[in-house]
Structure 1
């Protein structure tokens, strides 16, 4: 097994049994800032002298001579023991059917559920910012006009389409609007109301935001006023 694969497996196991929690290794994120090390050796020395995880202190009650280095060695051996006693058996129990089902679940169900959750999060944020009730569009509007949600006004309907995209796709926003223009103009003629495309952008580490949020919200507010205000 390559070192990279070993590290991946060790990371999974460590997280599973939470051996990287403060109880076992101390509040390392806080401690290293307190230390402000210039080089690795500074941090190692500080950790040995200053950091005292709760588990280490508990063990010292029974083994007073226990050093922090010996404690970390015992922690590593405990991790190895759990891997051999648990993960090996679990891996051997996984079948072809399990793997096929998981891949299908990942590609279909989880991807779709994540997509829907993102849309719901965006429209709930718009509800808060606009101070109005945003309704899910009828299925026929979705199919015929590419409308996901709508705002009911006194003199018309404002359609909303939420389009989750990645940060790398933001330069293509004008292309998306062009592709959707025909169906949205048809909505305006047949139903009566402006349509706004809301781009939900996903950046690195899952951070999400609405593209041109302030400008978009202001445009929707103006459209609501022209349509007589919310019903």
Structure 2
């Protein structure tokens, strides 16, 4: 929208996008690992105030929806008081909608873009075609993609993370162990977790590159089990 540059400048200038106002978004969406924007929105409203806010954080209102409205009102107050000439067209409703757009829609869109970028990197580096896992597999096995090898499958789970989370990657394996073992027993192949990070400049890359050779070995193992027709 034409007035978005004003909203963007003000939102950043008065630091209303900081964790003390909207929570730790990058951390929260990676823990949530949503399959849809609606799932992310629900997680944000219900879990961010419990798990992803800095010490001393307080909610403006009874719910996170009311909290975001109040952040939008504060944005409007800053704009109307200090940028009056430039923002004659900006309304309080614009500000409330913009805060929600950034916190819910754009955070989710960035997360989806990161997972898709890593998906493309995996296909290129492994030289195989990855297929999106059906919803039932996501719920039962916690996998995002799979690689068919004959009548068996290798599972792939992509986990975007922040650099601050890298010392605790082993926890993901522990949390997903039961679901991934279920996949192994029922689908024949192992599941591999691929962690991705965003570098300065926005480039996405695979963090645990050693997993690539593990995936290649698993594909070769299943090919030997299946026979030459694989």
Report TM bin, short chain: 0.5 to 0.7
TM-score of the aligned structures, taking structure 2 as reference length = 0.59
2:115 alignment partner, one of 112, 119, 135: 119
SS state at 1:98 partner: helix
SS of 1:168's partner is: helix
- Could you say what the CA RMSD is over the residues aligned between the two structures, in angstroms? 2.3
TM-score scaled by length of structure 1: 0.59
C-alpha contact 1:145 1:186 (8 A) present in aligned 2: yes
Specify the alignment match of 1:176 in structure 2: 172
Deviates more, 1:200-209 or 1:117-126: 200-209
1:7-35 per-residue CA deviation (whole Å, 9 max, x = no partner) reads x77x99xxxxxxxxxxxxxxxxxxxxxxx
Deviation of 1:204 (Å): 4.0
Residue equivalent to 1:222: 217
Deviation (angstroms), 1:208: 2.7
Find the structure with the greater CA-based Rg.
1
Residues 138 and 144, structure 2, Cα contact 8 Å, conserved in 1: yes
- 2:30 is aligned to none
SS in 1 for 2:161: strand
SS in 1 for 2:114: helix
Instruction: Give distance in 2, aligned partners of 1:179 and 1:136.
Output: 22
Q: Alpha-carbon deviations, 1:122-161, whole Å to 9, x = none?
A: 0100100111110110011111111000101124100000
Q: Which runs of 5+ in 1 are unaligned?
A: 1-7, 13-86
Alignment pair present for 1:192 and 2:176: no
Match of 2:145 among 130, 146, 149: 149
Cα separation, 2, equivalents of 1:111 and 1:148: 19
- The CA deviation string for residues 35-88 of structure 1, in whole angstroms up to 9 with x for no partner, is xxxxxxxxxxxxxxxxxxxxxxxxxxxxxxxxxxxxxxxxxxxxxxxxxxxx75
> Equivalents in 2 of 1:192, 1:108: separation in Å?
38
More helix per residue: 1
CA–CA separation in structure 2 for the residues paired with 1:123 and 1:134 = 8
Look up the match of 2:125: 129
* Runs (5+) with no aligned partner, structure 2: 1-8, 14-82
